[in-house]
Amino acid sequence: MTIIQNRILAIAMITLATYVLPPVIKPNDIPQNLNSTSTKTISLTAESQETNTSPTINDMRFYAGDGEFILNGKPFIIKAAELHYPRIPREYWEHRIQMCKSLGMNTICLYVFWNAHEPEPDRFDFNGQNDLSEFINLCKKNDMYVILRPGPYVCAEWEMGGLPWWLLKKKEIRLRESDPYFLERVDRFQKAVAEEVAGLTIEDGGPIIMAQVENEYGSYGTDKNYVGQIRDMIRKNFGDRLTLFQCDWASNFMNNGLDDLIWTINFGTGANIDKQFAKLKEARPESPLMCSEFWSGWFDKWGGKHETRSADKMIAGITEMLDKNISFSLYMTHGGTNWGHWAGANSPGFAPDVTSYDYDAPINEHGAATPKYHALRKALAKYASGKPATMPKAIPTGKISKFSFTDVAPLFPNLPSPKTDVEIKTMEDYNQGFGSILYRTKLPATSTSTTLTVNDPHDFAQIFIDGMYIGKLDRRLGEKSIQIPPVKAGSQLDILVEAMGRINFGRAIKDFKGITDSVTLSENRDGHIFVCTLRNWEVFNLEDNMEFYDSMEFMPLGAFSPGEDGRLPMGVYRATFTVSKPADTFLNFASWGKGLAYVNGKPLGRFWEIGPQQTLYLPGCWLKKGDNEIVVFDIIGPREATTEGFDSPVLDQLQSVTPPLHRKNSEKLNLSMESPVASGSFIPGNGWQQLNFAQPSTGRYIGIEMLNSIHGDDLAAISELYFIDEKGERISRESWKIRYADSEDVESGNHAADKLYDLQESTYWSTASGAKYPHYIVIDLGSEKRISGMQYLPRMEAETPGAIKDFRIYVKSSDFNYSK
């Protein structure tokens, strides 16, 4: 057995010896035909824009100089606040920009969400919430520079990472690759954005100092050709004087780094900053340094513990960067809200994101300053001359007294007219992007209980036979099959599938909704399994929009009482409520099931009783004095059809009181009968380490026994873990499940064991305090695999808390034994 304890990517460094530094673009390189005589610098203040001395093109430039960024002829440290305009009510845009300015930032960094701007091919929308040029002009008005991140892919916990769902109408499309159709569509979108921001780049006197090419491509693949195509498209559309950059992780930025782009690194609070930039400094000693996403907090997923990050660590990171002249963008400075259906989902392990994008950011979801904000403002003041800009007036919050819904339109009697199809098709095949879809067919007669298998339900399926609820299949939990009782020939099977957000991260972004392949019924007759594929479907497309809800027939709610399950019918609920003084409020959905809510036609987003989010943010600017209308589509049915407005949000209440641990109560892994296939010791320090097995092993269940830690304490932690196949390639983690973890810290933070394969290097599995070595993890790979090694990433902090030392690996085809 050999242990290669080098950092994996150090291999890539060998190539650096021959690496040629890209030419730094300097003002002198600007095309000759542009006048370049004066060296006067300009500032973006309204007054200077109005002076008669017209600055020359050389002044109005932003570029990477030797070790520093140069703006208008002077060194410039970017202190950027990440904000996403579609996540903030337009009425509050300026308030949020001013909050960022007052915090001590000088730049706003923003994504452009392609799918929000092009809801249908060639129908571009830059109005209302999508008015990009208005938002940028507001930045300019408030003396804030802008970094534009036009994708096409953005990630951002936004539906499909910003890509429009209609791309999936071409089943074979290769997303984020050199697929001709994909590239053609990207080009049209980039052209539309470029037209929208025309005149707003720094060279034209606007605030946009630079633009990003693609987004963290390293966590998707290695394809410099494609990234180069996106770069060329941005140059073609936005002009070739705009400075361009790429962002990636320290572990993979070299994979797709293009010679003529600035390279920046993304990492979160607590990370070892010197280590993060070490490789970049070696590769490009003269490059200015920037953390283009310094994560202030984190996002929440349905059914997961609410995420928070320490303010002290965030501030320590920012001050360390500023002391070292490192630019940064604080992602998120203000997260806002995933209105309507815009929340995305993460993967591996389908993990749909909640509606709030509060992110535990310094400015909270509704735009108020948090203690994190005040502490950061104080810290940033030390790096600025003069007093911080005054904070804008806080937007008031208020309560709305409890009110009851009056009308309901139950779903089943209100279905739209169906389409018919022999085989199952996805939502996209019916030109439907969002909402729910009902598949209906007739069942053959069965004499025993049978297994109904849905391949695959995307994302939350409910099964009914002759109108009776049988059960649900929740994609988050990997549920695909359900037992159904014997039925008469011709019984009606209904499968109601609700789509949640499309996956926004990793290869799984090609995320079709509805049922993706087939539905089968299998019966065990005398030990023989008979499988029949169900066909001949009636399909009802239930779009999530007001038009569909308005088409329904409403009845007085008084005519209904809760069923045996304590729930009122699933369907659309309506009420009118009175507001005397509109103010921001948080509607309580704790007594509701799962669905979407709208007030005065504005989509507030998804709610789900499982939590952790229990209230939906309702901005005061969307309320009227007097009567307001609320519409709620609940696909499970409420326990009580009432709501009320709180004056603060509830974002941290999981319905289940038991933390989601990967271990049944007193279960203990028993390895007494097993022998390890490999063992070894990790070395101290940050970065990836690799163990190669002496011989490949085949199996489905992998047990990792951790014997002790580098620091001699009891903590064990893993940021990311991969197994590698015989070719040295990483084995896909799409179907992984954690079968067992001896201990998980879900108290002090969200460090459950599934964090070790969530594709996020900044999140991690950690044992709880007090739990002693040896520690154990068992991973179910989903199917048998041939494994020839393992890659391990310890935590990113300089001290690598929980760094593991000695360990043993066990591989088995069937599950391990567990004792009570």
Cα distances (angstroms) measured from residue 421 to each of 150, 429, 540: 39, 11, 11
Q: How far is the CB of 282 from ligand GLA (least distance, A)?
A: 23
CB nearer ligand GLA, residue 110 or residue 724: 110
Pair of tokens at residue 42: 């300009």
From the list 397, 438, 808, 433, the residue with the least C-alpha distance to 618 is 397
Does the annotation count 159 as an active-site position? no
Q: How far is the CB of 762 from ligand GLA (least distance, A)?
A: 8
What are the φ and ψ backbone dihedral angles of 602, each rounded to 5 degrees?
Answer: -90, 130
Which amino acid type is present at position 40?
K
CB nearer ligand GLA, residue 203 or residue 214: 214
Which amino acid type is present at position 782?
G
3-state SS assignment for residue 517? strand
Asked, as a colleague might, if the bond just before 285 is cis with ω within 30 of 0, I would say: no
Judging by beta carbons within 10 Å of its beta carbon (0-12, 13-18, 19+), is residue 206 exposed, middle or buried? buried
CB nearer ligand GLA, residue 157 or residue 634: 157
CB nearer ligand GLA, residue 338 or residue 643: 338
Q: Residue 100: CB partners within 8 Å, gap ≥ 6?
A: 81, 83, 108, 144, 333, 334, 363
Q: How far is the CB of 566 from ligand GLA (least distance, A)?
A: 37
Q: Residue numbers of the site for ligand GLA (CB under 6 A)?
A: 154-157, 215-216, 266, 293, 299
Rounded CA separation 757/763 (Å): 9
Pair of tokens at residue 408: 């309901």
Judging by beta carbons within 10 Å of its beta carbon (0-12, 13-18, 19+), is residue 402 exposed, middle or buried? exposed
CB nearer ligand GLA, residue 584 or residue 761: 761
Q: Where are the beta strands (DSSP E) in 250-359?
A: 262-268, 290-295, 327-331, 345-346, 351-352
Q: Looking at beta carbons, which residue is closest to ligand GLA?
A: 155
From the list 114, 110, 86, 242, the residue with the least C-alpha distance to 189 is 114
CB nearer ligand GLA, residue 59 or residue 216: 216
Q: How far is the CB of 226 from ligand GLA (least distance, A)?
A: 17
Q: Which one from 196, 203, 216, 705 is the annotated catalytic residue?
A: 216
CB nearer ligand GLA, residue 314 or residue 716: 314
Rounded CA separation 796/454 (Å): 40
Q: How far is the CB of 574 from ligand GLA (least distance, A)?
A: 35
CB nearer ligand GLA, residue 147 or residue 156: 156
Tell me whether strands 351-352 and 537-542 are parallel, antiparallel or unpaired. Answer: unpaired
Rounded CA separation 427/515 (Å): 8
Q: Torsion angle, CA of 624/628/633/639, rounded to 10 degrees? A: 120
**Residue 93 CB: number of other CB atoms within 10 A?**
18
Q: Rounded to 5 degrees, what angle do the CA atoms 58, 64, 65 make?
A: 80
- Cα 81 to chain centroid, rounded: 18
Rounded CA separation 327/382 (Å): 15
Q: How far is the CB of 163 from ligand GLA (least distance, A)?
A: 13
| Full DSSP string of 380-405 | HHTTSSSPPPPPPPPPPB--EEEEE-
Q: How far is the CB of 585 from ligand GLA (least distance, A)?
A: 27
CB nearer ligand GLA, residue 157 or residue 511: 157
Residue pair 736/793 in contact (Cβ under 8 Å)? The answer is no
CB nearer ligand GLA, residue 706 or residue 796: 796
Q: How far is the CB of 771 from ligand GLA (least distance, A)?
A: 28
CB nearer ligand GLA, residue 293 or residue 459: 293
Q: Which one from 118, 196, 214, 293 is the annotated catalytic residue?
A: 293
- Cα 61 to chain centroid, rounded: 33
Q: Where are the beta strands (DSSP E) in 433-570?
A: 436-443, 450-458, 460-465, 468-474, 481-484, 491-498, 514-525, 528-533, 537-542, 555-556
Q: Is the dihedral of CA 656, 657, 658, 659 positive or negative?
A: positive
3-state SS assignment for residue 302? coil
Q: How far is the CB of 628 from ligand GLA (least distance, A)?
A: 33
Q: How far is the CB of 8 from ligand GLA (least distance, A)?
A: 20
Does the annotation count 216 as an active-site position? yes
CB nearer ligand GLA, residue 215 or residue 800: 215
Q: How far is the CB of 333 from ligand GLA (least distance, A)?
A: 13
Rounded CA separation 1/696 (Å): 10
Q: How far is the CB of 268 from ligand GLA (least distance, A)?
A: 8
Rounded CA separation 758/766 (Å): 14
Rounded CA separation 746/347 (Å): 20
CB nearer ligand GLA, residue 216 or residue 511: 216
Please tell me the number of Cα atoms within 13 Å of 430 on its side-chain side.
27
N-terminal to C-terminal alpha carbon distance within the chain? 34
Q: How far is the CB of 293 from ligand GLA (least distance, A)?
A: 4
Q: Helix 311-323 crosses helix 273-283 at what angle (to 10 degrees)?
A: 30
From the list 399, 343, 400, 391, the residue with the least C-alpha distance to 370 is 391
As annotated, the active-site residues are 216, 293
